Amino acid sequence: MEKGKPIIIGCDHAAYGLKEKIKIFLIHRGYQIEDAGTKAQTSVNYVDFGKKVADAVSKGQYSRGILLCGTGLGMSMVANRFAGVRAALCSDIFSAKMSRLHNDSNILVLGGRVIGDVLAFEIIQTWLDTVFEGGRHLERIQTIDN
């Protein structure tokens, strides 16, 4: 992904700390960040923040988004209900790469209670740097979207 392009990011209370570290990581690398919340560690409903990010990506306001919750499971379930969203829950670098290469994922989902910040940074950088391969994979994505 081109540096300078905006990325929307959202989380629940369980992943607030990791989200704040990720924002700094991305800003230092030249990315613009739109923080959809939450803004504190106070307990919130993850669905509200998942919807904000997924809706913005679905509508084309952002080409990429990042969502975080305790495990990443809830956020991925919310995000994948939106048209055109391909949210990928990734806990390793290989999955992040393949989610872009073969699936053109546009939302990366991370579990704040599952991975640490160093691994999260590596996953994010891989996800941002990997270009969709297209070809036979494009036809599969179009089948999903139809």
Write out the catalytic residue numbers. 69, 102
Tokens of 32: 């613009």
Burial class (CB in 10 A: 0-12, 13-18, 19+), 144: exposed
HSE-CB of 52 using CA atoms within 13 angstroms: 18
Query: What gap in Å lies between CA 65 and CA 125, rounded to an integer?
Result: 13
Q: In 3D, which of 37, 34, 54 has the Cα closest to residue 45? A: 37
Tokens of 83: 């048209």
Return phi, psi of residue 89, to 5°. -80, 115
Q: In 3D, which of 49, 26, 38 has the Cα closest to residue 120? A: 26
